[in-house]
Structure 1
């Protein structure tokens, strides 16, 4: 452990050690910290649903009926009807035949991606004999979320990285691959950059090179598209090649993850994905809350409308103040700073001024690419937005 102690002292001396906040309430987007009210510009609770009266009432009802947690595996007595209802709703939203829910979004990627490759190995134990030895390969955007990268690594299949949203580079690598089964893997909305994957071009390449597309739409689900169905709806795309992944802990204000796909793939994952069958799933009250959140996204469209109005106001104010922003297509709007010490200083200064903005630094982004990641919220007010821009400008 001496090496870790030495490393810890070195990190502390650099001045970029991140201090964990200990708030006494959760952002809506306002929250309490050390007796002060701060306004969060970093919460993933995009639509301010997590603290809503409707969501809490639905969760409380399920809590009284089912208790605090589900201590059983879905395969061994823990498969409540509530989960089947939730999976059916998620499948309809993503226009797929079936869906599976998991305890977290991170666990979804960590379990599903290896299972897509390794399920045939499990089936051999039951006598399955494939007509050939299939080879697999993943083609991954270089800026994909860590959970995606860890899931692919756990599969044991080759992983080919392509330059961020560079379709020419992706095509070159697909063209040179001899794999029998190809998976193009991408975020829908990139969490540290705020840009959107060029899904029409990706689907076109998948058609051309007979590949599947695994889309992590954690930051698109509930936010993008006319009804909030996510990145495919934003582009008006449906494809049998698409495997949709999403989280329930962002726009839906709860906890959990899911994958929506064809029925035959879902059946294989139920048996071959250890993250589904060898652990407990999300608590029943959270499943009930997500069902209510889905209803809210559909019948309270004003939340999504206000989110986008706030995004447009923030971008306009920042540009008027002379700041050069990164991508401005989504509620994630990064301000590139570069230097880690300067980024940490700006975040601390904003906190002093009454705002919480995440300083995103290595290893979340590359060295020299540190940024303040602003995330818009449906409950931000115009006063919040004008004041945070003015505070930043004064620094």
Structure 2
């Protein structure tokens, strides 16, 4: 107990260390209310504004009417509703795979899938499986991968090798020098703090060369990237038997949950060996109804995605014309570099005075000296809102004398 009390006392003396989350009275679509005041959010992951759409709410209501508030069972023990199989079928079709498996959240998906894949031979021994030889495993992970990936790999107990962000030469060197029987390259599809897209075709080329698999976390790409919202594979028109897709249902799809889409035999192994799937309740039925509807909406209402990308291009052009330093122009995540942690927090605070809610992202989420405003565009932002935000950012920059800079990375 003593060390926990010491940490608590230290945190009380250093209030900037903690997280003072604002209490909101409505959810951003992208407009919302906080502390009795209206704001426009440029931080929500509700990319297509589906979460509050009438069609999605109606779908969730059908789930509530049919099944009630929650599924209190494991899917292995009487809780495997037909709607879950329907969603899994749609997700497998979306990713052009023969199977998929649902988890309760995206974070839990990475913890459950990554920790279980390499332990499956050991777990299957309890059922009578006897491998013909002892296998060794190694993960190769981008240094900017989401913490859920890092935690899932840590829980696996397998060897882990971290390559410099998007550095394919470094990754190849690590693959070439490693003699593990089974190698798994793991990468975000869209990196959440930088907004850049992983070079999936190149990752798959390396996987082919070094007999590896590629596990891609397409949380920010599913529903957003590609002509039909199919994600990073559709974006690159790149499909491969070595590819395992992971995705979340709480961003573009506006609901909750996560999934893995892969060859059916991989999904069946996860159903058998992943405690995060079998030893917990899954997503509530109303959310499964909502996800099933959301997958259809992304196809049926392409104007949402078109509007999102029009807004992204407009904001990027506004930032470039005003000489802001932005990290990437590839996705609706457009990080604007401020530099100092305190300056970034103050910039975000002053933007709230103009009615805009923007996330200030700082260490340890990003490197020291690289604090940023992470601007996330939304399908329902108006031209007037985007122009007003750009104007407010210029005003706040002048007030605080934040230096202008050129585009860092495209």
Give the TM-score taking structure 2 as reference length.
0.95
Deviations 1:53-111 (CA, angstroms, capped at 9, x unpaired): 10000100110110000000000000000000000000000000000011000000000
CA distance in 1, matches of 2:10, 2:185: 37
CA distance in 1, matches of 2:55, 2:335: 32
CA distance in 2, matches of 1:212, 1:192: 25
Match in the other structure for 1:117 = 118
CA distance in 1, matches of 2:207, 2:14: 43
Shift of 1:17: 4.6
- Given that residues 311 and 331 in structure 1 are in contact (C-alpha distance below 8 angstroms), is that contact kept between their aligned partners in structure 2? yes
CA distance in 1, matches of 2:259, 2:18: 33
Shift of 1:9: 2.6
Match in the other structure for 1:227 = 228
Match in the other structure for 2:292 = 291
CA distance in 1, matches of 2:18, 2:174: 38
Write out the 4+ residue segments of structure 1 that deviate beyond 6 Å after TM superposition. none
- Given that residues 16 and 341 in structure 1 are in contact (C-alpha distance below 8 angstroms), is that contact kept between their aligned partners in structure 2? no
Matched, 1:7 2:17: no
Match in the other structure for 1:300 = 301
Give the TM-score taking structure 1 as reference length.
0.98
Match in the other structure for 1:186 = 187
- Given that residues 16 and 344 in structure 1 are in contact (C-alpha distance below 8 angstroms), is that contact kept between their aligned partners in structure 2? no
Within a 5 Å distance, the mapping from 1:269-284 to structure 2 comes to 269-284=270-285
CA distance in 1, matches of 2:352, 2:93: 41
Match in the other structure for 2:135 = 134
Shift of 1:16: 6.0
CA distance in 1, matches of 2:177, 2:359: 40
Within a 5 Å distance, the mapping from 1:351-390 to structure 2 comes to 351-390=352-391
CA distance in 1, matches of 2:182, 2:98: 21
SS at match of 2:141: strand
Matched, 1:242 2:243: yes
Give ranges in structure 1 of 5+ residues lacking alignment: none
Which segment drifts farther, 145-154 or 364-373?
A: 364-373
Deviations 1:229-258 (CA, angstroms, capped at 9, x unpaired): 000110010100000000000000000000
| Number of residue equivalences | 393
Shift of 1:128: 1.4
SS at match of 1:222: coil
Match in the other structure for 2:261 = 260
- Given that residues 11 and 18 in structure 2 are in contact (C-alpha distance below 8 angstroms), is that contact kept between their aligned partners in structure 1? no
Match in the other structure for 1:22 = 23
Shift of 1:320: 1.1
